[in-house]
Amino acid sequence: MRVIAGSARRLQLKTIEGLDTRPTTDRIKETLFNMLQNQLYGCRFLDLFAGSGGIGIEALSRGAGEAVFVEKNPKAAACIRENLAFTRLADRAQVLEMDVLDALNRLEGRGVFDYIFMDPPYNHDLEQQVIRWLDHSGLADARTTVIFEASMATDISWLEPMGWRILKIKEYKTNKHIFTAKGEA
C-alpha cells in the first residue's frame, strides 16, 4: 500500500499483519480521491476505523489541513503513528486509540469536519450506528460529506428515512463507497 499523490506521493505505508484490518487497495483509493481532489485543500478530515491510516494519510498528502484517525486496535494505531512519522504528516494529525463512539464523544465540541470517512468491519451495522450518532452531533453538518465503505450486500435503505441524502454510490467488484450528507444542503 502506498500514498498515491501529493506531498508523500509514492511512499510505501506499513500495514499490520493478519486479518484485523482490510487496507483499501491503491486502485480504489485512487478512484475515491480523484472524486474528492478539488475539495480537499485545507479541509478537516476524520478517518474512522482507520486501520493503518492509508485514507487519512492520502487526504493529508493531498492538502487536507488536518486529519483525525480513530482506531481501537493498539497495533493498528501504532502503525498509523509510524506511517504519519514516515510521511512527515504527523504535525497535522491526531490519533485516537479508542472505540469509534467514544472518540466521537471526545471530539464533540471541537468543530465540524468537512469529510468523515469510515471503513468499519463489514456486515455489523456499525456505519448505521455512526450515522445515527452523527445525526445529533456537531461534528457534521449539511455540508459534511460522510463516506463509508461497505460490502456490496450492505443495505442502505435506512439512510434516507433517517433524513440523510445519498450523494453518490461508487461500486467496485466486491465493495462500494456510499457518499452521504445530513438533511438539505
- For the chain, the domain total comes to 1
The reported pLDDT for the residue numbered 21 is 55
Is the pTM above the cut of 0.75? yes
Q: What's the domain range around 72?
A: 28-182
Cell 486509540 belongs to residue:
97
Indicate whether 20 belongs to any domain.
Answer: no
Indicate whether 14 belongs to any domain.
Answer: no
Cell matching residue 165:
441524502
Indicate whether 101 belongs to any domain.
Answer: yes
Indicate whether 10 belongs to any domain.
Answer: no
The reported pLDDT for the residue numbered 118 is 95
Cell matching residue 109:
465540541
Indicate whether 6 belongs to any domain.
Answer: no
CATH at residue 85: 3.40.50.150
CA distances to 42, 111, 152, 172 from 91, in Å: 14, 19, 36, 33
Q: How far apart are CA 128 and CA 63, in angstroms?
A: 29
Indicate whether 108 belongs to any domain.
Answer: yes
The reported pLDDT for the residue numbered 17 is 74
Indicate whether 114 belongs to any domain.
Answer: yes
> Side chain identity at 46, as an amino acid letter?
L
Indicate whether 15 belongs to any domain.
Answer: no
Residue ranges of the chain with per-residue pLDDT less than 50: 19
